[in-house]
Amino acid sequence: MKLAAYIRVSTGSQTISPEAQRTAIERYAELYNHEVILWANDVASGSKRNRPGLARALASKADGIIVAKLDRLTRDIRHLLAVIDGLDGMQIISVAEQLDTTSPNGRFFVTLLGAMAQWEREVISQRTKDCLAENKRNGKRWTRVAPLGNKWENGRLVANDDERTMIQLAGELRDEGLTLDLVAQRLNEAGYVTRRGGALGKWSICRMLKREVS
Which one is predicted more confidently, 22 or 98? 22
Q: Which helix (H) or strand (E) holds 27?
A: helix 18-31
For residue 107, which phi and psi values (nearest 5 degrees)? -65, -35
Handedness of CA 108, 114, 117, 121 (dihedral sign): negative
Tell me: the pLDDT tens digits for 58-69?
888 899 899 998
- Window from 48-57, 115-124, 152-161, 200-209 with minimum mean pLDDT: 115-124
Secondary structure (DSSP) of 38-66: EEEEEE--TT----HHHHHHHTSS-SEEE
**pLDDT band per the 50, 70, 90 thresholds, residue 85:** low
Q: Tell me what percent of the residues of the chain surpass a pLDDT of 70.
A: 67
Asked if residues 112 and 106 have their Cβ atoms less than 8 Å apart, the reply is: no
Q: Tell me what pLDDT residue 213 has.
A: 45
Q: Tell me what pLDDT residue 101 has.
A: 65
pLDDT higher than 70, residue 105: no
Q: What is the mean pLDDT of the chain?
A: 78
Asked if residues 46 and 7 have their Cβ atoms less than 8 Å apart, the reply is: no
Which one is predicted more confidently, 13 or 147? 147
Tell me: the pLDDT tens digits for 119-148?
666 766 676 566 556 656 665 555 667 777
Catalytic-residue membership of 10? yes
Q: What is the pTM of this model?
A: 0.49
Buried b (16+ CB within 10 A) or exposed e, 172-193: ebbeeebebeebbbbbeeeebe
**pLDDT band per the 50, 70, 90 thresholds, residue 168:** confident
Q: Tell me what pLDDT residue 214 has.
A: 44
